[in-house]
Every structure is written in C-alpha cells, then in structure tokens.
Amino acid sequence: FTGDNPNLWKTMCEQYFQMFGILPSFWVPMATLNFSGSAAVWLQSIQKRLAEFDWEAFTALLCTRFGRDRHQTLIRQFYTVRQTSSVAHYIEQFELIINHLSSYSDTIHPFYFLTHFVEGLRRDIRAVVLVQRPPDLDTACALALLQEEVAK
C-alpha cells in the first residue's frame, strides 16, 4: 500500500483475508507488511500505538489519513473532465473517475453519468451523439468512437 485509494486497498485486503481464512487478529499485522512510500512513513509514526487497533479502527484511521478529500477531488474531476484528445482517452479518463465515484455511492443514476459524458465530448462529436439519443453510457461511448473514426 502506497497511500493511493485506501478504500480499494481495504476491500482487497478483506477479500484476501476472508478467502484464505486469516483470523481477524492477524489482519493489521499482515496488511502492514507491504506498506511503502508515504504510507510506510505514516505507519512508522503510529507504530507504537499499532497494537491498540483492531482492523476497523486501523482502517478508519488509514482511510481518514489517505482518503482526505478524495471524494471531493473525484467530484471536481468529474465536473471538469472534457475530451481534449482522442475519444478513447476521454472514455478511459471518464470511466476511471466514475468507477472511483461509484465506490463512494451506488445511488448515482446512470443517466447522470451518461449526460455528463456526452456534455464533455468535443462539440462536433457531441452533436452527432446527442442526435442519436443513446440509452446508456456504453452506447454513447460506441457512438462517439464511431463518429471520431468517420470524421478522420
């Protein structure tokens, strides 16, 4: 763990521990074996208190430290992402952001993502995609890719 995406790290650790039947009392010591970079420095700073923490307390502390403003940052990225190069690159950026956002809340309506994706397309591509009235994000992505290909 380097400090990136603490929620994903926590989920992956829990899946691993459960799959291999690791007792919860070993979760914190095992999980901290692979810390590096700023996460390792942070771990060193709390090392003396580490024995006090069960998994829930430890991960809450970790997520607070490394997840600072992560949700807000993702929301800002969502509102500012635009197609600046190829459609494929824009799709990659957009999907990365919405996948991260979805880990915070699964109640965001898919049409919200669809609408914002289309609005972020380059003007010439957006016009063609809008006219097609795509029912979902996958269709909008496919239409945008096709339009870019045809326009070349």
Domain ranges of the chain: 6-66, 70-151
| Position 41 confidence tier, pLDDT thresholds 50, 70, 90 | very high
Task: Give the whole-angstrom CA distance, residue 44 versus residue 129.
Answer: 52
Predicted pLDDT at 5: 87
- Which residue from 101, 64, 63 is spatially nearest to 79, judged by alpha carbons? 101
pLDDT at 31 over 80: yes
Task: Give the whole-angstrom CA distance, residue 59 versus residue 9.
Answer: 10
pLDDT at 106 over 80: no
Predicted pLDDT at 2: 93
Tokens 């996460």, residue located:
39
**Mean per-residue pLDDT, 55-62:** 95
Q: What percent of the chain has pLDDT over 90?
A: 79
pLDDT at 136 over 90: yes
**Mean per-residue pLDDT, 81-108:** 92
Inter-CA distances, 93 with 26, 74, 109, 118, Å:
37, 11, 19, 14
Sorted by sequence, the CB contacts under 8 Å of residue 149 that are 6+ apart come out as none
**Mean per-residue pLDDT, 111-135:** 96
Q: In this structure, which amino acid lies at residue 23?
A: L
Q: What percent of the chain has pLDDT over 70?
A: 100
Predicted pLDDT at 37: 94
DSSP 67: S
Sorted by sequence, the CB contacts under 8 Å of residue 79 that are 6+ apart come out as 116
Inter-CA distances, 66 with 1, 7, 32, Å:
11, 9, 14
Q: Where are the alpha helices (DSSP H) in the chain?
A: 6-19, 27-31, 37-46, 55-66, 70-80, 87-102, 110-120, 123-132, 137-151
Predicted pLDDT at 84: 96
